[in-house]
C-alpha cells in the first residue's frame, strides 16, 4: 500500500494548492473541503468493529443487496440541534455551509457522494442515562469517509480550511490517516458470541402490563380520540461481553441482506439494527418512500407462507393500518413534490422472520425543496407513531413510560445537492458496553388483538435477539 499512499499524497497536495488559491479569493473565514479518491480492495471491512469503537464518533450504513457501504470516522463538522426547532435550525446551518463548500467530486462523473452522516431521535427529549451519548438531532461530516458503491471504492478526506490553515499540517494529517488505515497489519479475530446472562422485560408480568397498555390505547381509539397508535416494547439484556460488530454485521448481512444495516456510534454507545423501512431516498430530483405497515409471520413452508401472505392482503385491520401510512405520506410531501406515484409490484415485503404490507411511492421534488423541512413533515410516520401524529406522540410518551431515543428515529446520510437516504431505526438496539436494550413495536388500530400484537413484537425482537444465539450458524 506504500505506492498507493505516496500517489494519494501527491494528488492531495496538488488539490490543496488548487483549492487554496480558489478559496482565498472569496475572503471567507472558513470553508468545508472534501477530497475524494479511489482506493484499492483491502481487508478494511474486517477491521470495522475495531475502527468503530476506536473513534469517539463513527457511523456505518450498508445496503447489502445493492453492494453499498458508508463508513465514517471522527468529525470535521458537527451540526447538533435539540428541541422543537431541530429540523429548521439544521436546515439553516446546512444552507450556510453549502455556500462555503469546495470539493473535487466533479472528477467522478455519475457518482453520488455522501457527506453528512447521522440521526434524529423519535421525539424531542431530555436525554436520560441510556441515551446520554446522543442528542435530538446530530449530523456530522467525518474526517475520513469510506464509500463503496457496486465495485467502486472511494475515500473522502474532509477538513475545514481556515485562516490558520497550514498546508504542511493538513498534508501530514492526510498521510497519517492513510497509514493508519492501510499500513496497520493488525489481525482482527472474530470474538466468541456474547451470551445472554439476563433478560428484563419479557416476564409474564411484563407481558400483562404491556397488554394492558394496548387495551388503554384501544379505549382511546373507540372513544375517537385517536385512529392509530404504535406502541413499543423495551427489552434489556445483560451480555457476557460487549457485542462484536464484525460478527453482528456478518450475521445481519446473511439473514437480512435486503434491509439497511446501520451502526451509529458515539462515546460509549452504539445504536444498531437491520431496518426494512426506507423513510426517503432523494436522488436525480426524485424522492422514493416506503410505506411499510401491517405484518404477518413467515410460514414453516411455502404453502403456509403463502397462506399468511394471502390473509395479510385481505385483512381489514392490517389494510387500514397500511392505508393510514400512505395517506400520511401523500399529504406530508404534497407541498414539496409533484407527480405522486404508487409503484406497481410492491404488495408484500418478505424478511427472514416476518412479512409486511409494502407500497413503494415515488414523486418529483420541487427544485427549491428543503430536505430537512420535508423530513419534518414526513417524520414520524404513522408506521412508528400514529394518527393524528401529535396526539399519538403525546400518548406514546405517557403510556410507554420510557424514552425511545433513536429507536424509530431517523438514520441516514445526505450531501449539499439534495441527495440522501434516510431510514427508520427499527429492528434495532442500543449497546452500552455489555448492556443491550432492544426495541420492537406494532400498530394498534380498531379491532387490534393485544395477544396477537404481543406476538408480533416477539417476531420483531428476534432480529436482534437471534444475534446472540450460538446455534445460528
Number of Cβ within a 10 Å radius of residue 459: 18
Cell of 354: 416476518
Cβ partners under 8 Å of residue 424, min gap 6: 275, 277, 278, 279, 381, 383, 384, 408, 409, 410, 411
CA end-to-end distance (rounded Å), the chain: 34
List C-alpha distances in Å: 39 to 42, 50, 145, 312: 9, 20, 12, 46
List C-alpha distances in Å: 197 to 47, 200, 237, 439: 27, 10, 7, 18
Q: Which of 75, 81, 277, 309 is catalytic?
A: 277
228 carries an active-site annotation: yes
How many CA atoms lie within 13 Å of 182's alpha carbon, on the beta-carbon side? 20
47 carries an active-site annotation: no
Q: Which of 121, 220, 227, 228 is catalytic?
A: 228
Q: Which residues are catalytic?
A: 228, 277
Amino acid at each position: 500500500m506504500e505506492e498507493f499512499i505516496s500517489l494519494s499524497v501527491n494528488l492531495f497536495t496538488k488539490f490543496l494548492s488548487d483549492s487554496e488559491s480558489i478559496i482565498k479569493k472569496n475572503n471567507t473565514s472558513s470553508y468545508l473541503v472534501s477530497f475524494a479518491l479511489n482506493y484499492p480492495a483491502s481487508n478494511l471491512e474486517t477491521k470495522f468493529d475495531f475502527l468503530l469503537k476506536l473513534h469517539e464518533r463513527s457511523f456505518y450504513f450498508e445496503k447489502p443487496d445493492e453492494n453499498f457501504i458508508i463508513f465514517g470516522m471522527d468529525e470535521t463538522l458537527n451540526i447538533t440541534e435539540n428541541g422543537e426547532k431541530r429540523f429548521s435550525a439544521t436546515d439553516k446551518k446546512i444552507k450556510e455551509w453549502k455556500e462555503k463548500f469546495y470539493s473535487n467530486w466533479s472528477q467522478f462523473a455519475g457518482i453520488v457522494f455522501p457527506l453528512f452522516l447521522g440521526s434524529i431521535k423519535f421525539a424531542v427529549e431530555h436525554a436520560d442515562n441510556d441515551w446520554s451519548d446522543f442528542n435530538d438531532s446530530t449530523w456530522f461530516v467525518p474526517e475520513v469517509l469510506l464509500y463503496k458503491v457496486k465495485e467502486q471504492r472511494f475515500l473522502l478526506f474532509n477538513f475545514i480550511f481556515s485562516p490558520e490553515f497550514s498546508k504542511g499540517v493538513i498534508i501530514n494529517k492526510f498521510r497519517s490517516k492513510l497509514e493508519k488505515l492501510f499500513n496497520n497489519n493488525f489481525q482482527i479475530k472474530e470474538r466468541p458470541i456474547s451470551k445472554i446472562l439476563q433478560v428484563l422485560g419479557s416476564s409474564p408480568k411484563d407481558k400483562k402490563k404491556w397488554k394492558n397498555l394496548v387495551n388503554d390505547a384501544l379505549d382511546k381509539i373507540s372513544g375517537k380520540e385517536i385512529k392509530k397508535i404504535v406502541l413499543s416494547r423495551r427489552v434489556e439484556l445483560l451480555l457476557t461481553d460487549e457485542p462484536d460488530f464484525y460478527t453482528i454485521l456478518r450475521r445481519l448481512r446473511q439473514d437480512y441482506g435486503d434491509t439497511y444495516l446501520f451502526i451509529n456510534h458515539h462515546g460509549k454507545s452504539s445504536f444498531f439494527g437491520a431496518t426494512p423501512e426506507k423513510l426517503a431516498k432523494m436522488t436525480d430530483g426524485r424522492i422514493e418512500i416506503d410505506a411499510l405497515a401491517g405484518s404477518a409471520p413467515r410460514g414453516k413452508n411455502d404453502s403456509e407462507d403463502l397462506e399468511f401472505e394471502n390473509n395479510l392482503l385481505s385483512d381489514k385491520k392490517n389494510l387500514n393500518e397500511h392505508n393510514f401510512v400512505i395517506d400520511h405520506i401523500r399529504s406530508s410531501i404534497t407541498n414539496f413534490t409533484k407527480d405522486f406515484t404508487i409503484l406497481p409490484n410492491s404488495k408484500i415485503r418478505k424478511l427472514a422472520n416476518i412479512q409486511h404490507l409494502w407500497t413503494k411511492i415515488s414523486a418529483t421534488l420541487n427544485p427549491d425543496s428543503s430536505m430537512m423541512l420535508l423530513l419534518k413533515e414526513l417524520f414520524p410516520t404513522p408506521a412508528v407513531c400514529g394518527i393524528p401524529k401529535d396526539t399519538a406522540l403525546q400518548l406514546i410518551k405517557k403510556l410507554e413510560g420510557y424514552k425511545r431515543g433513536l429507536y424509530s428515529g431517523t438514520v441516514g446520510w445526505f450531501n449539499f445537492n439534495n441527495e440522501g437516504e434516510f431510514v427508520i431505526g427499527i429492528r434495532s438496539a442500543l449497546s452500552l458496553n455489555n448492556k443491550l436494550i432492544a426495541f420492537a413495536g406494532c400498530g394498534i388500530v380498531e379491532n387490534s388483538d393485544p395477544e396477537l400484537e404481543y406476538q408480533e413484537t416477539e417476531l420483531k425482537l428476534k432480529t436482534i435477539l437471534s444475534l446472540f444465539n450460538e446455534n445460528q450458524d
